[in-house]
Amino acid sequence: MKQTLVLKVNPNKPSIKKVKVAADIIRKGGLVAFPTETVYGLGADAMNPDAVLALFKAKNRPLDNPPIVHIENMNTVYELTEHVPPKAELLMRQFWPGPLTLIFKRSKRVPEITVAGLETVAIRMPQHTVALALIKESGCAIAAPSANLAGKPSPTSAKHVLADLGGRIDAILDGGSTRIGVESTVLDLSVDPPQVLRPGGTPVEALRKVLGDVRLHPFVVAEEEVPIEKARSPGMRHRHYAPNAKVILVEGALHAVIAKIKELTDLYRLKGVKVGVLATDETIANYEADVVKSLGSRFNLEAIAQNLFTLLREFDDEGVAIIIAESVPSEGLGLAVMNRLRKASGYNILKVV
């Protein structure tokens, strides 16, 4: 087991000396976790097949699950792709740096493993000073899925990264907690009209204001497992975002959701099961479970997104066997939150009216 170096940095003005240490590790084929505005990423030189393979191994990540390539200069897009459509240039100007990943036809220069054998490549420019500094100092595009063990809730702090990957990776740039808390939105521009493959930090409504017609892949709003032959985006196949505890998601009218969660809580506790309830500020007073946590106000979906993965990990820390979660409104960042909760539950969803 290797020693994982933790380099604490100011998220707004990181020590260039510490960033250079991390960049040197990347250049030598090593693995460095770093903060972005969404979640922590686990970075490797995107053009080094051995480094990317090591990244997959460190995470126990299936080789058919493509990572996102992170850049700090718009010009890099033209080096990694065959063609950059006008819609992409419009989106890059409008939303980069930011939580939007774009799917392009890939250049043959990009190693097969970096794109999981696909003909497309996923690219984004993160909106985080530490991430941009690391990419710049490394002198290469950085392939970076979330810095967690495959299938677990994504990490929103260096503590989460260390819990999952300590001893498995070379270094962590600790820039504190991330701002958005769910991953980037993934938009496929290799099809027309463009298609959202994963909802995230850039709301679909914002994309439609710029592009007009933007479709949602059926997976995005799926309430059951959708068979997918080839995943064009992270998060489309395999179990994702899941804590150790079993998750039940209750969806429907709020009064009915509250009643069903209370009923389930009583039922499981009578069986001697330790129950956690994932509530909101407006509803938390209704519940009596072993552990009750609030995601935040139902009228502040940004806060709910920011808190989601942290709270799922906290339930595991407190040893609950089952988490019963409320649904939240599906507009704005709520669409990403519901997508993550449905995946975390393994589509164990109860509909109530």
- Give me the percent of the chain exceeding a pLDDT of 70: 96
Cα–Cα distance, 201 to 127 (Å, whole number) = 11
* 288 and 201 within one domain: no
Phi, psi (rounded to 5 degrees) for 143: -75, 125
CATH number for position 22: 3.90.870.10
Residue 277: inside a domain: yes
**pLDDT tens-place string over residues 269-279:** 999 999 999 99
pLDDT, mean of residues 34-42: 98
Domain match, 107 and 33 both:
yes
- Average per-residue pLDDT in the chain? 95
Question: For residue 291, is it within any domain?
Answer: yes
Share above pLDDT 90 across residues of the chain, in percent, rounded to a whole number: 91
> Is residue 282 assigned to a domain?
yes
Query: Are 43 and 103 members of one domain?
Result: yes
* Higher-scoring residue by pLDDT: 232, 101: 101
| pLDDT for res 225 | 76
Residue 212 shares a structural domain with residue 68: yes
Torsion of CA 189, 330, 341, 213, to 10 degrees: -10
pTM reported for the whole predicted model: 0.96
Domain boundary among 221, 238, 268: 221
Does residue 233 lie in a domain region?
A: no
Quick one: 216 and 250 in the same domain? no
Clarify whether residues 190 and 116 are in a common domain.
yes
Q: Per-residue pLDDT tens for 124-182?
A: 999 999 999 999 999 999 999 999 999 999 999 999 999 999 999 999 999 999 999 99
CA distance 20 to 287: 49
Per-residue pLDDT band at 231 (split at 50, 70, 90): low
In a domain, 67, yes or no: yes
Residues 180 and 253 in one domain: no
- pLDDT (tens digit per residue) in 48-57: 999 999 999 9
- The answer to whether residues 197 and 112 belong to one domain is yes
Structure-block tokens of residue 4 = 């994982």
Q: Is the same domain home to 125 and 268?
A: no
Confidence (pLDDT) at 79: 97
Domain for residue 13, yes or no? yes
Are residues 131 and 92 part of one domain? yes
Residue 344 maps to which CATH number?
A: 3.40.50.11030
In which domain, by residue range, is 99 found? 5-221
Give how many domains the chain has, as a whole number: 2
Task: Tell how far CA 18 is from the center of its chain.
Answer: 25
In a domain, 238, yes or no: no
**Amino acid 191: pLDDT:** 87
Domain-embedded: residue 229: no
Burial code of 130-165, b = ≥16 C-beta within 10 A, e = fewer?
bbbbbbebbebbbbbbbbbbbbbbbbbbbebbbbbb
Q: Are residues 131 and 265 in the same domain?
A: no
Residue 250 and residue 211 share a domain? no
Give the residues across from 249 on adjacent strands: 325, 349
